[in-house]
Amino acid sequence: MRAALAKVDVARLGERIEELGAIGRTADGGVTRLGLSPEEDAAKTLVARWLQARGGRITRDPAANLIAGFGSGDRAIVIASHLDSVPNGGKYDGHLGVLCAVELIEAATAAGVALPRLDIIGWTDEEGARFGVGLFGSAAAYGRLPEGVVARRDRDGVSIADALRALGHDGDPAAARRRGTDRLYLELHIEQGPNLERAKRPLGVVRTIVGITHLRVTVEGAAGHAGTTPMEGRRDALVAAAEMVLALDDAARRRGGTVATVGEISAEPGAKNVIPGRVIFTVDVRSPDDDGRRAVVSVLEDAKRDAVQRRGVRVDFDTLADLPAVELDKGIRGALGEALREVGVEPLELVSGAGHDAQNPALAGVPTGMLFIRSTNGSHNPREHATAEDAALATKALILSIARLN
């Protein structure tokens, strides 16, 4: 594998970042490439073309994941990330990890290196921006998909099953190959945070991925005239929801290392002179400490009971995701750290505040590791940025890691 180091091509990586980033490009230079959309499918087709040209055995599993197989053997080393985006997101989040895997194959082919059994995977719908189900493709592949998930619908009423069928699949992602016997799993991803930039290091090793709870909260009160309904006795769904949101925010602030976000909220009927009778909002709670995450969710449950009693509303919680924190494989972390030293980077271990597909193989018992690539300007926005030079260095570290782990 080491012979491939000299063949890693920064210019090719830069060109492909732009070519892939053109699929779903928005007016201000961002990317909208939602899960199970024609744009995500087109991105997979482009990546498949590159990999097939280098001898990859191309398949799509029942969850629409793109898989390109190389080498021989029963148990694969998996190198993977995702190809979808949030609405008007960046062109590096997830996509750069897939491009580094493609560059590894290009470099190994150019060097005439005999590859071990490798599966390069472009996961479907990691973001969950369309159907509210994150890490969809990897969950299907590792047997961790929630029951009944195919019935979930997007804002246009299209279900996951419908979207799969529109792309030529039978609508049953649970039939995706169970990958629990994979030899190991590696993922490269931009950090999406400031730690590597502040430390002036291009790469870092992920130690832990935070646990995540996603909820959809529905508050049912009673709509009424804004002028003729006395304050006493109102069943205002928005006031009840606001009190719950504030309780959630306060609980997260009191619990160090835990963050909580309400990213979506809607009030019905949505008129300036009508008391809101129904409110729906989403909750995102994350922490590297599962006890801390559960404690914050418990405060929200207390606030729910208080809202029911004091405001006369009904409150329902729908759990969209509940993933424990994951500490990644110590042996793989060590190999990644040694690879970083070999490319001139002093290893820095990081906690990932974002969820990643790597959680699913790790929870399925597959030894799992992640490298972060330095990124700037935040993430999930068009200004998100990483350099081709850092991506090339990450590819070299990936090559060295596989040489050690193989």
Q: Domain of 331: which CATH number?
A: 3.40.630.10
Those residues whose C-beta lies under 8 Å from the C-beta of residue 47, and which sit 6 or more positions away, are: 20, 66, 68, 83, 98, 102, 122
H-helix or E-strand spanning residue 76: none
| The pLDDT of residue 321 | 86
R_g over Cα of the chain? 23
* 54, two tokens: 């280098």
| The pLDDT of residue 48 | 99
Tell me, yes or no, whether 266 and 134 share the same domain: no
Cα of 277 vs its chain's centroid, Å? 34
Tell me, yes or no, whether 151 and 77 share the same domain: yes
Cα of 13 vs its chain's centroid, Å? 22
Tally the domains of the chain.
Answer: 2
* 223, two tokens: 């709509």
Q: How many CA atoms lie within 13 A of 317 on its CB side?
A: 18
Strand partners, 30: none
Domain termination site, one of 299, 323, 347: 323
* 381, two tokens: 């926005």
Q: Nearest-CA neighbor of 141 among 178, 183, 184?
A: 178
* 175, two tokens: 């039939």
Tell me, yes or no, whether 186 and 81 share the same domain: yes
Q: Does residue 84 sit in helix, strand or coil? A: coil
Strand partners, 215: 283, 319
Tell me, yes or no, whether 60 and 187 share the same domain: yes
Tell me, yes or no, whether 159 and 301 share the same domain: no
Number of neighbours of residue 227 by Cβ within 10 angstroms: 6
| The pLDDT of residue 377 | 96
Q: Indicate the pTM of the whole model.
A: 0.91
Tell me, yes or no, whether 53 and 177 share the same domain: yes
Domain termination site, one of 285, 303, 323: 323
d(CA 325, CA 264): 24
Domain termination site, one of 323, 351, 382: 323
φ/ψ bin of 55: left (φ > 0), alpha (ψ from -120 to 50), beta (otherwise): left
Tell me, yes or no, whether 68 and 136 share the same domain: yes
Give 322: exposed, middle or buried? Use CB within 10 Å, 0-12, 13-18, 19+: middle
| The pLDDT of residue 175 | 84
Tell me, yes or no, whether 279 and 348 share the same domain: no
Tell me, yes or no, whether 234 and 99 share the same domain: no
Tell me, yes or no, whether 41 and 150 share the same domain: yes
Ranges in the chain, pLDDT < 70: none
| The pLDDT of residue 386 | 99
Q: pLDDT tens across 243-285, in order?
A: 999 999 999 999 989 999 999 999 999 999 999 999 999 999 9
Q: Which domain holds residue 362?
A: 2-210+325-405
Tell me, yes or no, whether 292 and 388 share the same domain: no
CATH number, domain of 308, equals: 3.30.70.360
d(CA 381, CA 364): 31
Tell me, yes or no, whether 146 and 241 share the same domain: no
Phi, psi dihedrals of residue 322, rounded to the nearest 5°? -150, 90
* 149, two tokens: 């998930």
